[in-house]
Chain A
Amino acid sequence: MADITLDLFETEVGKVQLRRGGSGDPLVYLHSAAGEGEGLTFLNELAEHYSVYAPIFPGFNESEGIEQIDDMEDVVFYLLDLLDRLALDAPNVVGLSLGGWMAAELATRYPDRLSSLVLINPAGLYIEGEPIKDIFGRSPAEMAKDLFVDQAHPVAQMMNQMDRAMSDAGSLKDIPFELIAPQLKSMAAAARIGWNPYLHNPKLRRRLQRIKVPTLIVRAESDTLIPAAHTRAYADEIPGAELVEVANAAHMVVMEHPAELAAIIQKFVTTPSASRTSG
């Protein structure tokens, strides 16, 4: 697998962590509210075929500048600035969950700044009767069930350990703060954008028809965090969008099936649009 390097990259809002690697057409990966990136082999898999850029959003991990971002409007301008500074005219953009929502917002407003769009279990929509489950107040053990099919996955195991520690407040102080801090930062940053309206933009759905680039929607079959109705709605509203389902996968499909997912993306992104069924 291709190597990925990590460094700090200057943006309008401050220095952000940026993972880069591989060669080929540019591909930007926007992470979920979990702030994934560290040890994410999905990026190495993608880097086999693309020049991968995976910025860590302001407020997550060591990235600065979240105090300048109050809402999705600010997010879109941050992304535009980032693309400009990376000299990426129209990269392929892949986003998971919160990152998928960001990518969709960028694509509705500045469709010329993307070559293709891949939304994996994207947030961003409100569908009556099909709510996105809560991410801001539930226990790590409950979250782990939504995020992973395999509870033996190392991250799921860590979440379950954290849960046991939290249920005994006496032992909470014994957990190294360095382990808790990234999670606190991720949730605080996500809350700025997605607390209310909860992880959606009421106006996004009717704007989706403005997305003119080839779009792939990826649904993890066992994602219990975001119901299937959401991926279906994205696929219905974005002209020509394709919908694929990954079996035996939950919300964090990028962690559980990195190679399979990268192959799906590679197949889609390299297919000339004329040969797509409904492109």
Chain B
Amino acid sequence: MRFFNFHLMPYPSLPEDYDGPAWVTCPNELFDPEVGQKVYNRYLDELVYSDELGFDGVCVNEHHQNAYGLMPSPNLMAAILARQTKNVKIAVIGNALPLYNPPTRVAEEFAMIDNISGGRLIAGFVVGGGPEYYSFSINPAFAREKFAEAHDIIIKAWTEPGPQEYIGKHYKLRFLNTWPRPVQKPHPEVWIPGAGSIETMEFVAKHHYGYMGIPYFHMDVFERTFGMFRDACEREGYEYDPIQAGWLTPIYVAETDAEAREQYEKHFWYFVRRLLPGINVSPPGYTSLRSIQGILKGIGTFAINLKTWDEVMEGHYVAIGSPSTVLEMLEADLERLGTGNLLGLFQLGTLPHDLTMRSLSLFAKEVMPKLRERFPDGKRMLRASGGVA
């Protein structure tokens, strides 16, 4: 099992009287640079701290024109982390490939981060969230085609000697010859996040990459999603390796269960009620009909619909409580899902710095070692049947 601290870098100060979406049309006048300069540095400290605590990696991601996550350029964050951390993998999950033109830029910047960090980059490629297609006016109907071409360009740039030519439908590059080249050979580990779209899973399975399940759904939906991913690997003719799958979930650890809820709940609701609205727009042509049909089955469990704390706990939307409670929850969930990477969102919504740091520390000292023991590297985690109930 590998453990990652995933940061969204949310904007924590949306005014009380604003009840609109946090995405696309959320007025940028609401962004206060006084808040911004504090939280960027504070959030980076929280990621650097997880390096000191012995996490395997840190994760940053890309979103545009929103209050949910303040990282239009995750590569800037990764570059800072490459210098400020020593051991952790730096997972950028990911760069929204269709938003880069030409996508050569991603090959270059990722290679820079891999060089500066001494080969610690995990390269994430994403299609980009639905809102991004509105925010950047990029045609969603060509999202998958562009993603596939951009991916091919990057891998070609990293693995084949240049200069070479790439002539695709969307990108025509007469001289593909990126400097620098990445440190890791043949190229950095590739992760691709997905929200349950079959096309994404098939793509990941085909290339033997890592599939990261996007959070904020009921545990039953994750179980179905990772089951579908395992099936996709089987259809490619191989048995899925747990290291290929990552589960992303909010985690909060305090001294006792009661204290944990008391300290955490309001910050969680800020996230759900203030930062999620608007994330779930699906631009036309962005997802295939067969994927939409599948995704609709679980859509009712998307966290935005949560009303009560009981629902939160019942669906395991957050692993929360004393160290022993969190351990128990995560053991059960990881066994159920069979993923070899645990991506924890330790800071969420308005959760303040001191509570985030203490939760990270409690997790690293009292939960992580026991989970490492329970799920050692390389050991298959699924029950003997190879499937889940």
Which residues of A come within 8 Å of B, CB atoms? 70, 136-137, 169-173, 177, 180-181, 184-185, 187-192, 195-196, 198
Contact = CB atoms under 8 A, between A and B. Distances in A.
A184 B289 contact: yes
A191 B141 contact: yes
Contact of A137 (B134, B292, B297, B302): B134
14 contacts: A136-B283, A169-B280, A169-B304, A172-B296, A173-B300, A181-B289, A185-B289, A187-B285, A191-B283, A191-B285, A195-B139, A195-B140, A196-B139, A198-B137
Contacts of B299: 169, 172-173
Q: Which 6 A-B pairs have the closest CB atoms?
A: A188-B285, A187-B284, A170-B300, A191-B284, A195-B139, A192-B141
Contacts of A190: 284
Given A177-B296, A188-B284, A190-B284, A170 B141 contact: no
Nearest to B282: A184
Contacts of A189: 285
Contacts of A137: 24, 134, 281, 283
Contacts of B285: 187-189, 191-192
Interface string B126-151: 00000000100111111000000000
Given A137-B134, A188-B284, A169 B300 contact: yes
Interface string B17-31: 000000010000000
B296 A173 contact: yes
Nearest to B284: A187
B139 A191 contact: yes
Contacts of B134: 136-137
A177 B292 CA distance: 9
A75 to B, nearest CB: 14
A180 B285 CA distance: 13
Contacts of A192: 139, 141-142, 285
A186 to B, nearest CB: 8
B305 interface: yes
B293 interface: yes
Contacts of B141: 188, 191-192, 195
A70 B142 CA distance: 9
A72 to B, nearest CB: 13
A172 B284 contact: no
A173 B274 CA distance: 24
A191 B140 contact: yes
Given A191-B284, A191-B285, A177 B302 contact: no
Contacts of A172: 296, 299-300
A189 B140 CA distance: 11
A136 B302 CA distance: 22
Contacts of A173: 296-297, 299-300
A192 B170 CA distance: 13
A140 to B, nearest CB: 14
Nearest to B280: A169
B284 A184 contact: yes
B285 to A, nearest CB: 3
B307 to A, nearest CB: 10
Interface in B280-332: 280-281, 283-285, 289, 292-293, 296-297, 299-300, 302, 304-305
A220 B202 CA distance: 47
B296 A170 contact: no
Contacts of A191: 139-141, 283-285
B271 to A, nearest CB: 17
A233 B361 CA distance: 66
Given A184-B284, A184-B292, A188-B284, A170 B138 contact: no
Contacts of B300: 169-173
Contacts of A187: 284-285
Contacts of B293: 177
Contacts of B137: 195-196, 198
Contacts of A169: 280, 299-300, 302, 304-305
A173 B293 CA distance: 9
A195 B134 CA distance: 9
